[in-house]
């Protein structure tokens, strides 16, 4: 493996890389990592080569995790030399990697200059009836503009969209982390599931996310089952309809509140696309036919905030709201972050909420908290990123106001 990026990241072992690393002379080259098959076919035709080369190169990149053209042995020496000249295969730079005792892995990638240009990716292993599942939570943006009140990423404000190279690079690196010591011929893909649920709102970086998901599903790349690729949105309604036309993947909704008044506060995009519109979009997304579709139900994500959205009446409102939507509900114990104005609901409260929903006929699970020792749990991504937008200051103000209200309510 001779990629400069990969070699440098492997030397880090959780240490911050020196910012004095010299710029790579390959910076001007075309990066093939984030190209879909159609884009790669066009690329090869444009350089006067046969388009079947696209499939060959994709397999080397995404199935054997090779970044050095010299190792692509079914490609002629002449073409390899030509590719070496004009293009590269380059994952984003890893600045930290942490492997938890419980098997959870986290990477922090640098995707630009400055402390605010970091994104995180988390891999969570779990046993289920199909064997060992490795689920990768991928980021789609640096920061996020939507400012959900329980989310630490939202407090950083929006920096920029990730490119397809940077999105698929997270999946590439997670797979590669299990294969780096394995001879090329014996390498295989390790990540079994992907959730577009990391930093950012994926439907607000639509084209790059769509193109990346096509690479995930492509048999010449990761060949993932469409049921194992999930896009999670806070509710960008027009883009949910667009997604239904463009690709068949599983959909998750960050619901977090069962009525508009509360959701306006927790998930402010609700003011633009209220619950009635969101639920109707989910209903349109569900496929009416085809057992093979990934769209037989929607997953509802619901973070449990003590005394805010975890009361018996909220469970009853959920039952009413979701009664005509095939759905599975995932209750998420809140992971407090510094200055968060919320606490985690008690275990008993969460179990009682689950029971109410289960008794009403819903499949309702409680997410296990994982990777606490490496801050990998949901809502803790890039906890130490520099605040470049004075959001922290505004946030502190909101917290103080909320505490004041709670005090006056006794």
- Could you list the residues known to form a binding site, using ranges: 144, 148, 151, 200-201, 232, 254-256, 335
Q: Does 139 bind ligand SF4 (CB under 6 A)?
A: no
138 binds ligand SF4 (CB under 6 A): no
Q: Which 194-253 positions form the footprint of ligand SF4 (CB under 6 A)? A: 199-201, 234
**Cα 101 from Cα 110, distance rounded (Å):** 24
- Among candidate residues 120, 166, 265, 301, the one labeled active-site is 120
Beta strands in 114-162, from DSSP E residues, in sequence order: 118-128, 131-137, 141-143, 158-161
- Does the annotation count 137 as an active-site position? no
Annotated binding residues for [4Fe-4S] cluster, as ranges? 144, 148, 151
CB of 112 to ligand SF4, least distance (A): 18
Q: Which of 6, 72, 146, 224 binds ligand SF4 (CB under 6 A)?
A: 146
Q: Does 299 bind ligand SF4 (CB under 6 A)?
A: no
Q: Largest Cα–Cα distance in the chain?
A: 77
Number of residues that bind ligand SF4 (CB under 6 A): 12
Between 31 and 139, whose beta carbon lies closer to ligand SF4? 139
**Is residue 354 near ligand SF4 by the rule CB under 6 A?**
no
- Residue pair 9/94 in contact (Cβ under 8 Å)? The answer is yes
**Cα gap 290→101, rounded to integer Å:** 41
Looking at beta carbons only, is 199 or 357 nearer to ligand SF4? 199
b/e burial code for range 149-170 (CB count within 10 A of at least 16 → b): bbbbbbbbbbbebbbbbbbbbb
Ranges within 252-281 binding ligand SF4 (CB under 6 A): 254
Question: Is residue 58 within the footprint of ligand SF4 (CB under 6 A)?
Answer: no
Q: Residue 371, interface with ligand SF4 (CB under 6 A)?
A: no
Query: What count of Cα atoms within 13 Å lies in the side-chain half-sphere of residue 306?
Result: 13
Nearer to ligand SF4, 120 or 165 (CB): 120
CB contact at 8 A, 272 and 145: no
Classified as helix, coil or strand, 168 is helix
> Min. distance of Cβ 256 from ligand SF4 in angstroms?
8
* Residue 28 annotated to the active site: no
Is residue 136 within 8 A of residue 192, CB to CB? The reply is no
Catalytic positions, written as ranges: 120, 378
């Amino acid at each position: 493996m001779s990629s400069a990026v990969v070699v440098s990241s492997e030397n880090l072992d959780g240490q911050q890389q020196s910012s004095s690393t010299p710029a790579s002379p390959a910076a001007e080259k075309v990066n093939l990592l984030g190209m879909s098959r159609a884009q790669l076919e066009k690329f090869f035709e444009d350089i006067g080569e046969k388009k079947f080369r696209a499939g060959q190169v994709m397999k080397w990149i995404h199935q054997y995790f090779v970044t050095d053209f010299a190792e692509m042995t079914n490609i002629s020496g002449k073409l390899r030399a030509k590719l070496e000249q004009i293009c590269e295969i380059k994952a984003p730079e890893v600045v930290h990697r942490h492997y938890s005792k419980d098997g959870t892995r986290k990477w922090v990638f640098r995707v630009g200059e400055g402390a605010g240009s970091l994104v995180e990716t988390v891999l969570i292993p779990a046993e289920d009836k199909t064997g060992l599942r490795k689920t990768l939570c991928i980021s789609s943006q640096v920061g996020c503009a939507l400012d959900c009140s329980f989310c630490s990423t939202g407090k950083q404000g929006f920096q920029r969209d990730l490119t397809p190279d940077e999105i698929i690079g997270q999946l590439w690196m997670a797979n590669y982390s299990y294969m780096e010591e394995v001879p090329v011929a014996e390498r295989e893909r390790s990540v079994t599931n992907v959730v577009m649920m990391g930093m950012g709102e994926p439907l607000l970086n639509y084209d790059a996310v769509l193109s990346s998901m096509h690479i995930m599903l492509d048999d010449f790349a990761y060949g993932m089952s469409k049921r194992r690729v999930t896009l999670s949105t806070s509710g960008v309604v027009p883009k949910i309809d667009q997604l239904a036309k463009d690709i068949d993947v599983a959909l998750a909704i960050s619901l977090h509140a069962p009525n508009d008044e509360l959701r306006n506060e927790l998930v402010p995009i609700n003011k633009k696309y209220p619950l009635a519109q969101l639920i109707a979009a989910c209903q349109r997304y569900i496929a009416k036919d085809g057992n093979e579709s990934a769209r037989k139900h929607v997953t509802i994500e619901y973070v449990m905030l003590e005394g805010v959205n975890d009361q018996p009446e909220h469970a009853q409102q959920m039952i009413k709201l979701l009664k005509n939507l095939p759905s599975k509900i995932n209750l998420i114990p809140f992971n407090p972050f510094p200055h968060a104005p919320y606490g985690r609901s008690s275990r008993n409260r969460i179990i009682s909420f689950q029971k109410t929903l289960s008794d009403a006929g819903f499949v309702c699970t409680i997410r296990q908290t994982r990777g606490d020792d490496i801050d990998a749990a949901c809502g803790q991504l890039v906890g130490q990123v520099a605040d470049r937008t004075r959001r922290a200051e505004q946030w502190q103000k909101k917290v103080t106001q909320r505490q004041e209200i709670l005090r006056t309510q006794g």
